[in-house]
Amino acid sequence: MQFEIHKKDVHSRARTASLHTDHGVIETPIFMPVGTVASVKAVHQRELNDDIRAQIILGNTYHLYLRPGTDILEAAGGLHKFINWQKPILTDSGGYQVYSLSDRRKLTEEGVKFKSHIDGSYHFFSPENAMGIQRKIGADIVMAFDECTAFPSEYKAARLSMEMTHRWLDRCVKYMAESEPLYGYEQFLFPIVQGSTYTDLRKISAEYIAQVGAVGNAIGGLSVGEPEEEMYAMTDVVTEILPADKPRYLMGVGTPWNILESIALGVDMFDCVMPTRNARNGMLFTWNGVMNMKNAKWKDDFSALDELGTSYVDKEYSKAYVRHLFISGEYLGKQIASVHNLAFYLDLVRVAREKINEGSFAQWKDEMVPKLKQRL
């Protein structure tokens, strides 16, 4: 995997780069739509390709393992073929889902025994089989198996969790080195920095991850309830330590303004369920701020859904019509809103790349953040 840096911003750590994989080149900074169960909810692959212009999507190891199962995915020739997606895929390790199942899991040094949310059956994830499952899924980028620390977390608990994440990482690295991809293309491991909101732990973890020498690195355990300023502070600490010549991925982030602020801190890759989850509830992100499509103010507004948007839904449907769909409980409203939000997120990082290349990113970011936060 080659990571080629093109331009660095002189007023921040923001940069543009190209990340080369066997399924194509990813231009960074980039946002990855989340395809939890082999599907980006309410969005066709054709729309992801042609209208949203996604360059890479994310699959969820925990959910794909349970349904449709690795046997089906392997028989199909991997997730790319199963869902008819020719571009890169990144899979998380399942660590976050295990974290979210705190009432139905048992954690030991060997791994995590957990109870399926589908049928109550018991399963076990270790660093080794989490890597094996991701091999079978067929992701281009696989994430190390980690323990995501809750917020707030006591210092001792955060330290012990981080140390176990590091031990698990060593086992992940060993498994990946001793195993082969199944489908004829390379798969690359990204380690994950942990440490909660403790600066010293984040430094220790970032230094440990950096010495592994992986082709890319991730920052986990943020966007789990901590204040935004703490998220930015921890990201700042970590990006200063992680190798500048490798891609940096901030997991599970976030709002449009979170993304711009984190790009300025040196982050290259993002994912979040927010654009599609909020869309299904009628919340749209736009260049002028946030719209709640259920509000009565849009009832007789026949202007385009988003005059500044670039997707077909922004031009073809009015605010009044989309509001009507939500008020009526029509599924089409969720689909239109999902396409809009994802297209906006991909537009946001595309324009960010343009501004970095032009040398005007920092000023543009400072102007855009308060505008993006506005409630319309």
Catalytic residues: 92, 271
Q: Which residue has the tokens 């010293």?
A: 200
**Angle formed at CA 343 by CA 339 and CA 347, multiple of 5 degrees:** 170
Q: Cβ neighbours of residue 162 under 8 Å, at least 6 residues apart? A: 149, 194, 195, 196, 201, 204, 205
